[in-house]
Amino acid sequence: MKSAIILDLDGVICDTAHFHFLAWHRLAAEYGYELTHADNEQLKGVSRADSLTFILGLANKTLSPEQFQEDLHRKNEWYLELVKDMGPLEVLPGVPSFFAEVAARKIPLALGSASKNANMVLTRVGLIHAFNAIVDASQVTHGKPHPETFLKAADLLGIAPEKCLVFEDSAAGVQAAIAGGMNAIGIGTPEDLPGAIVHLRNLGEFDFSKYPL
């Protein structure tokens, strides 16, 4: 039976994980909290609203529902400002060769992202047409670590979950893949991404000959 690849976006295809961090760092500073890279590991893969709830907990701060929505909006405006000049060159190392290999091998490819900005970012880096299916935050009820994002991607591809290989840079995403019955390749360290079957620095390090797809 055919296999497929499901890719996370932020921190796997492009360095937008860093831009999310910068925008959250700026908002947390307004709450009097210095957001650390260790904090940020726990925010990776987590939806915008859940991320703000997590940061408010760290900062020991509460907001009215109106202010909560306003701060989500402001964070996103800062993020959009940071990504506005992104282009096709702003992909992580190894991405062009990885996509060329996927196309040459005709491997079904889906995106499974927690971001509502996924379509915009993929369009900017010129990769939107490389995907057979795209699932972003606007299409799911439950964010990562719930498996809904990846199960929906597998369903859209018409491939059984256990035949899907998920590439993730977030602990929440690796957990989501495993909860969906899929194998996860960690883009990051074993310390940050327990449960992944192998850990790579970037997509370019993936050895297609080792994994039958």
Our finding on whether 186 is near Mg ion (CB under 5 A) is no
- Residues carrying an active site annotation: 8, 10
Could you give phi then psi for residue 47, rounded to 5 degrees?
A: -60, 165
Our finding on whether 114 is near ligand BG6 (CB under 6 A) is yes
**Binders in 124-183 for Mg ion, by CB under 5 A:** 169-170
Judge whether 114 and 46 are in contact, CB under 8 Å. Answer: yes
| Nearest CA among 9, 196, 17, 12 for reference residue 111 | 9
Our finding on whether 20 is near ligand BG6 (CB under 6 A) is yes
Our finding on whether 51 is near ligand BG6 (CB under 6 A) is yes
Our finding on whether 25 is near ligand BG6 (CB under 6 A) is no
Our finding on whether 170 is near ligand BG6 (CB under 6 A) is yes
Nearer to ligand BG6, 69 or 158 (CB): 69
Q: Give the DSSP per-residue string, 53-84.
A: HHHHHHHT----HHHHHHHHHHHHHHHHHHHT
Nearer to ligand BG6, 10 or 148 (CB): 10
Binding segment for ligand BG6 among 42-50, 89-97, 99-107, 183-191 (CB under 6 A)?
A: 42-50
Could you give phi then psi for residue 185, rounded to 5 degrees?
A: -100, 125
From Mg ion, ligand BG6, none, which one binds at residue 114 (CB under 5 to 8 Å depending on kind)? ligand BG6
Read off the tokens for 8.
């996370």
Our finding on whether 113 is near ligand BG6 (CB under 6 A) is yes
- Looking at the DSSP bridge assignments, the partners of residue 171 are none
- Looking at the DSSP bridge assignments, the partners of residue 4 are 164
From ligand BG6, Mg ion, none, which one binds at residue 76 (CB under 5 to 8 Å depending on kind)? ligand BG6
Our finding on whether 175 is near ligand BG6 (CB under 6 A) is no
Buried b / exposed e across 78-115, counting CB within 10 Å, b at 16+? bbeeebeebeeebbbebbeebbeebeeeebbbbbbbbb
From Mg ion, ligand BG6, none, which one binds at residue 43 (CB under 5 to 8 Å depending on kind)? ligand BG6
| Nearest CA among 111, 132, 114 for reference residue 122 | 111
Footprint on this chain of ligand BG6 (rule: CB under 6 A): 9-10, 17, 20, 43-48, 51, 76, 113-117, 137, 170
